[in-house]
Structure 1
Amino acid sequence: MAMILNDEQILLQQSAQDLSEKVATVEQFRTLRDAKQRYHDPALWQQIAALGWTGIIIPEDWGGSEFGYLGLGLVLQQLGRHLTPSPLFSTGFLAAELLIQAGSNQQKDQYLPKIVDGSAIFSFAHEEHTRHSLNNISFSAQKQASGYILSGEKVFVIDGELADHYLVTARTSGQRGDPTGISIFILDADIPGLTKTQLTTVDSRNVANLGLDQVKVEASACLGELGNAAPLLQNVFDKASILLASEMLGAAEQVFESTIDYLKEREQFGVTIGSFQALKHRAADMFVELDIAKSVVREALSALDEGSKEISQLASLAKTRLNDCLTLITNEGVQMHGGMGMTDEFDIGLYMKRSRVTNQLFGDSHFHRDRFASLGGY
Structure 2
Amino acid sequence: MAMLIPTEDETMLRDAARGFLDDAAPVANLRANRDQGRAFDPDLWAEMVKMGWAGVLVGEDEGGSDMGFAAANILAEEMGRTLVASPFLSSAVIAASALRAAGRPAGAIASGDVTYALAVDEGPKFAPAATAMQASADGNGFRLSGTKTFVGEGTSATRILVLAKAEAGLTLFDLEADRVGLTRDKLDLVDSRDHAALTFDNVQATGEDVVGEVGQGLAALAPALRAGHAALAAELTGLSAGAFGITAAYLKERRQFGRRIGSFQALQHRAAHLWCEIEVSASTILNAGRVLDATPDEADLAVSLAKARATETANLAVREGVQMHGGIGMTDEYDMGFYMKRARVAAEWLGDYGYHAAVVARARGMAA
Q: Distance in 2 between matches of 1:300 and 1:216?
A: 38
Q: Secondary structure at the match of 2:150?
A: strand
- The question of 1:362 aligning with 2:354 is answered no
Partner of 1:178: none
Q: Distance in 2 between matches of 1:40 and 1:2?
A: 35
How far does residue 2 in structure 1 lie from its aligned partner after superposition? 3.5
- The question of 1:144 aligning with 2:145 is answered no
Q: Distance in 1 between matches of 2:295 and 2:154?
A: 31
Q: Secondary structure at the match of 1:328?
A: helix
Residue identity in the other structure for 1:50: K
How far does residue 233 in structure 1 lie from its aligned partner after superposition? 2.3
Partner of 1:28: 29
Question: Is the contact made by 2:237 and 2:310 (CA closer than 8 Å) also made in structure 1?
Answer: yes
How far does residue 309 in structure 1 lie from its aligned partner after superposition? 6.2
Q: Distance in 1 between matches of 2:19 and 2:100?
A: 29
How far does residue 238 in structure 1 lie from its aligned partner after superposition? 2.4
Question: Is the contact made by 1:90 and 1:159 (CA closer than 8 Å) also made in structure 2?
Answer: yes
Partner of 2:222: 234
Q: Distance in 2 between matches of 1:113 and 1:294?
A: 30
Q: Which residues in structure 2 correspond to 1:1-378 (within 5 Å)?
A: 2-35=3-36, 37-104=37-104, 108=105, 112-173=106-167, 181-307=169-295, 310-378=298-366
Cα-to-partner distance string for 1:137-184 (whole Å, 9 max, x where unaligned)? 11111112231111111101110100111111111127xxxxxx1101
Question: Is the contact made by 1:134 and 1:233 (CA closer than 8 Å) also made in structure 2?
Answer: no
Residue identity in the other structure for 2:230: I
* RMSD between aligned residues: 1.4
How far does residue 292 in structure 1 lie from its aligned partner after superposition? 0.9
Q: Distance in 1 between matches of 2:308 and 2:297?
A: 19
Cα-to-partner distance string for 1:185-209 (whole Å, 9 max, x where unaligned)? 1111111111000111100110111
Q: Secondary structure at the match of 2:54?
A: helix
How far does residue 117 in structure 1 lie from its aligned partner after superposition? 0.9
Q: Which 5+ residue runs of structure 2 have no aligned equivalent?
A: none
Name the % identity. Answer: 37
Q: Distance in 1 between matches of 2:13 and 2:124?
A: 36
Q: Secondary structure at the match of 1:153?
A: strand
Q: Distance in 1 between matches of 2:206 and 2:126?
A: 29
Q: Distance in 2 between matches of 1:269 and 1:4?
A: 42
Residue identity in the other structure for 1:326: A
Q: Distance in 1 between matches of 2:103 and 2:188?
A: 33
Residue identity in the other structure for 2:273: D
* TM-score normalized with structure 1 length: 0.93
How far does residue 310 in structure 1 lie from its aligned partner after superposition? 4.5
Question: Is the contact made by 2:58 and 2:107 (CA closer than 8 Å) also made in structure 1?
Answer: no
Q: Distance in 2 between matches of 1:188 and 1:239?
A: 22
Range that drifts further, 2-11 or 217-226 = 2-11
Q: Secondary structure at the match of 1:135?
A: helix
Q: Distance in 1 between matches of 2:287 and 2:157?
A: 32
Residue identity in the other structure for 1:92: A
Question: Is the contact made by 1:134 and 1:234 (CA closer than 8 Å) also made in structure 2?
Answer: no
Q: Distance in 1 between matches of 2:223 and 2:155?
A: 26
Q: Distance in 1 between matches of 2:118 and 2:22?
A: 29
Cα-to-partner distance string for 1:207-244 (whole Å, 9 max, x where unaligned)? 11111111112221111111012133234322211111
Q: Secondary structure at the match of 2:310?
A: helix
Question: Is the contact made by 1:187 and 1:221 (CA closer than 8 Å) also made in structure 2?
Answer: yes
Q: Distance in 2 between matches of 1:39 and 1:2?
A: 37
Question: Is the contact made by 2:101 and 2:223 (CA closer than 8 Å) also made in structure 1?
Answer: no
Q: Distance in 2 between matches of 1:368 and 1:93?
A: 19
Q: Secondary structure at the match of 2:130?
A: coil
Q: Distance in 1 between matches of 2:172 and 2:98?
A: 9
Q: 1:309 to 1:97 in 2, by over 3 A?
A: closer
Q: Distance in 1 between matches of 2:56 and 2:170?
A: 28
Q: 1:351 to 1:211 in 2, by over 3 A?
A: same
Q: Distance in 1 between matches of 2:224 and 2:297?
A: 14
